[in-house]
Chains A and B, each alone.
Chain A
Amino acid sequence: MQAAPKALDKTLVASPERQQEADSDWTLVKRVQSGEVAAFDDLIRKYRERVFGVVYNMTSNREDAADLTQDAFIKAFQSINRFQGQSSFFTWLYRIAVNSTLTHLRKSRLRSFFSFEKINEEDKSAEVIDKLTDKSGVERQVLVKELQEKLNEAMQKLSIKHRTVVTLFEIDGLSHEEIADVVGCSVGTVRSRLHYAKQLLQSELQPYLRP
């Protein structure tokens, strides 16, 4: 496997998994840059759910999220020859997606329309729902829907910048450094935004939260 360029070592791919991921991405990118367009499909399949997740949690609208994710991949494909491996591919792709979403949100600030995905009740999410209610069947479904709405309402009360940071950290699991790289601000700013956003979310979701 061809190693990622030196510049990539300086970036925020600290963990071995991230480094391995960055190396495999770089190989795919090199193949795309050399004219093998099909290699880009692998990158799409690898990242589409994560990119969609970020955009969806920022917009709270599945149709908009789908469009913005597609646009982000098209932009990435059009500009892939300019990608020189200064950062990892996923950071670069996230940056494109986040910037497109921020532009979209600023344009359509006044017409907010929410459409949600269904919560898949798997191991971790089921645990959370179990803690909140001992009901089952229809009542449980109603609780989950209500919870989802409250959660999205609270998220929408955050400013775009704060929502982006919370989404990337709490939902997508990026590190502070990675978020700073994606958003284009300092790590301190990321921490500060995260702290403020959590305070606001806690006050909004107080009835569901442990004191």
Chain B
Amino acid sequence: MNESPESRPSANKVTLEELLRLKQAERPSAEFWTRFEQDFRTKQLAAAVEKRRWWYVFPQVFSGLPRLQIPLGATAILAVTFLTVREYRQPEIEPGLAPSVPVAALAAATAPASAKEAMPGIDSPVTSTSRFVVETAPTVASVAGAETESETSGWDLAALMEQRESSFELSPSARSIAANRAAAAEMEPELARFIEGQTSTLQLASTREPLAEVTSPRDARRNRLFAYEPSNSTASAGETMVVRERIASRLSEEQLYDQVRRIGGGADRLTLKF
């Protein structure tokens, strides 16, 4: 073909659609289809014999799920709501843990005689109830002896709490521990006292905030200055207080000046010292 495509007259040219139609004419021969069918049969048999992977089951299982989208979604939302409400609801006091005697009754039981006279609504039945509670509950307080009894006679908060604790139903293990401690107190008073001391130390240690115990050098300096006692023994307590107040105000002024000195200003700059 000597004629170049560009040099052809426009009448001898075709449209793009016509040109693409040539692609339709690219067809395989009959032999090709015979071979195609043979190959296909072989592949089909191989595919039938081949064991399917386990994950091929998933599309079949989940193929029906689109129809259940709305019911499943609603169920999921309900389940999540139920679980959330169940997880974060307000804790309710179980009946077993609730005090068997009202607080007013306890207060009446532990109040001094003068206070009882001032409370006209509370009379003897309440007192008998509180006595019953104290008698039936074998607590540490009941075995602690005369000292404890004398302490509970007043408006002491600890005594009130102790009385309140006595009104709770104790667990078997708590009862067993209390009995052991009572026995130890009888047989080995020193050991019992030592255990009491250890327990109270532990309780104190657990309630103390560790960071609160850390003092900064500045606090130490302040405390030293506040602990200043004038050497002149003739100075009165009022004068001492005045001196301390001055020191305190001076301290705050010093801090202020110290902070101001850190900030330096120039004509065109601002410096900050750390």
Contact = CB atoms under 8 A, between A and B. Distances in A.
Chain A residues touching B, range: 35 or more
B88 to A, nearest CB: 43
A190 B28 CA distance: 29
B14 interface: yes
Interface stretch (A27-35, A102-110, A120-128, A175-183): A120-128
Contact of A52 (B4, B17, B28, B63): B28
A127 B36 CA distance: 30
B33 A48 contact: yes
B27 A117 contact: yes
A171 B44 contact: no
Given A124-B21, A201-B16, A82 B63 contact: yes
Contacts of B151: none
B221 to A, nearest CB: 75
Nearest to B52: A78
B46 to A, nearest CB: 9
A131 B14 contact: yes
A151 B17 contact: no
B47 interface: yes
A126 to B, nearest CB: 9
Contacts of B5: 207-208
B10 A205 contact: no
B59 interface: yes
Q: Is chain B's binding surface mostly helix, strand, loop or mixed?
A: helix
B12 A132 contact: yes
A146 B3 CA distance: 12
Contacts of A24: none
Residue of A49, A129, A131, A143 most packed against chain B (CB within 10 A): A131
A198 to B, nearest CB: 6
A12 B27 CA distance: 27
Interface string A177-203: 000000000000000000000100110
Interface in B16-47: 16-29, 32-33, 36, 39-40, 43-44, 47
Interface stretch (A1-9, A68-76, A88-96): A68-76
B114 interface: no
A77 interface: yes
A131 B13 contact: yes
Interface string A131-155: 1111100010011001110010001
Interface residues of B, number: 36
B1 interface: yes
Interface string A57-73: 10000100010011101
A61 B12 CA distance: 30
Contacts of B12: 131-134
Interface in B53-94: 59-60, 63
A171 B32 CA distance: 21
B39 A70 contact: yes
A74 B43 contact: yes
A198 B12 CA distance: 21
A49 B43 contact: no
B223 interface: no
A120 B27 contact: yes
A44 B40 contact: yes
B65 to A, nearest CB: 13
B6 interface: yes
Interface of B: 1, 3-6, 8, 10, 12-29, 32-33, 36, 39-40, 43-44, 47, 59-60, 63
Given A78-B47, A139-B1, A209-B19, 10 more contacts: A53-B24, A70-B36, A116-B26, A124-B24, A132-B8, A134-B12, A135-B1, A147-B22, A170-B17, A209-B15
